[in-house]
Homo-oligomer: A and B are copies of this chain.
Amino acid sequence: MTQNPTACLLVIGNEVLSGRTQDLNIKYLATRLGEIGIPLREVRVIPDVPETIIGTLNLVRAMFDHVFTTGGIGPTHDDITSECVSAAFGLPHEIHPEAYAKMAVGYAPGEFNAARQRMATMPRGATLIECAASRAPGFNIGNVHVMAGVPRIMQAQFEALAPTLAGGLPVISRAVHATGALEGRIADGLAAVQGRYPQLDLGSYPYYREGGNGVAIVAKGTDAIAAEAAIREVTVLFGELGYTPKQGEPPAA
């Protein structure tokens, strides 16, 4: 995976840090970014504090090929992501004429007020990320992609954006699981398999189900042939230890 471009996600919002909101964007973006070959390497959840947003953005946009942000692009006072992105890039924060024109036609006379116009205000030179799910666009500037926090809107914006991103090899996943298996009994054999496939990430994940607890082993990487071979070896290992392996992930809890 080392040749693939890398991604970092900034989840911006007090509501996740306070426990008010269960984040659903990390899993969606992690999955989709893997599929398009831009694996997610780090996530930071940060508060609605300008210095924190600006400082973090400038750090991570230098460390990763792509930075995705979710949250903070609505019309209220706690929506400060766009102005922080402008500040981070040192760009004028101004009305985006195309965003303004498109948004203006959607409102009744007098309803496109100052708060709503904030959603058409962006760093100069931003490219819009538009989708049917929201009147207010996301945007892209440099390697930073700014999206909504509402999962339904974020997903539509990401899917509009995805075809424009030059990804690498897709990250694929192969799995095997065995109910009754114990991590402490497979650990040695599993480490040996990992040693033979250094190009893969071999993960061991206990699961807890009504029908019985067990362990799932997941091989991830860009080399599908290696992933299948590694999972075959783990399947043999499970059998040798007296477990009954089944291909794939365990059924959902």
Contacts and interface: CB of A to CB of B under 8 A. Distances in A.
Interface string A192-231: 0010000001111110100000000010100000000000
Contacts of A37: none
Interface in A68-108: 74-79
A247 interface: no
Interface string A139-155: 00000000000101000
Contacts of A18: 30-31, 34, 39-40, 171, 173, 201, 220
A20 B203 contact: yes
A11 B28 CA distance: 17
Contact of A17 (B39, B185, B205): B39
Given A17-B42, A17-B43, A115 B187 contact: yes
A190 B76 contact: yes
A78 B26 contact: no
Given A26-B16, A43-B43, A113-B184, A150 B206 contact: yes
Contacts of A21: 27, 205
Contact of A23 (B26, B29, B44, B173): B26
A75 B182 CA distance: 10
* Interface SS, A side: mixed
Given A27-B23, A46-B42, A218-B20, A15 B203 contact: yes
A113 B43 CA distance: 35
A23 B23 contact: yes
A6 to B, nearest CB: 11
A164 interface: no
Contact of A74 (B23, B29, B40, B204): B204
A48 interface: yes
B45 A43 contact: yes
Interface of A: 11, 13-24, 26-34, 39-48, 52, 74-79, 111, 113-116, 118, 150, 152, 171, 173, 183-188, 190-191, 194, 201-206, 208, 218, 220
4 smallest A-B Cβ distances: which pairs? A19-B31, A115-B187, A19-B30, A43-B45
Given A19-B27, A42-B44, A42-B45, 9 more contacts: A17-B43, A18-B171, A19-B28, A23-B26, A23-B27, A43-B43, A48-B201, A48-B203, A113-B185
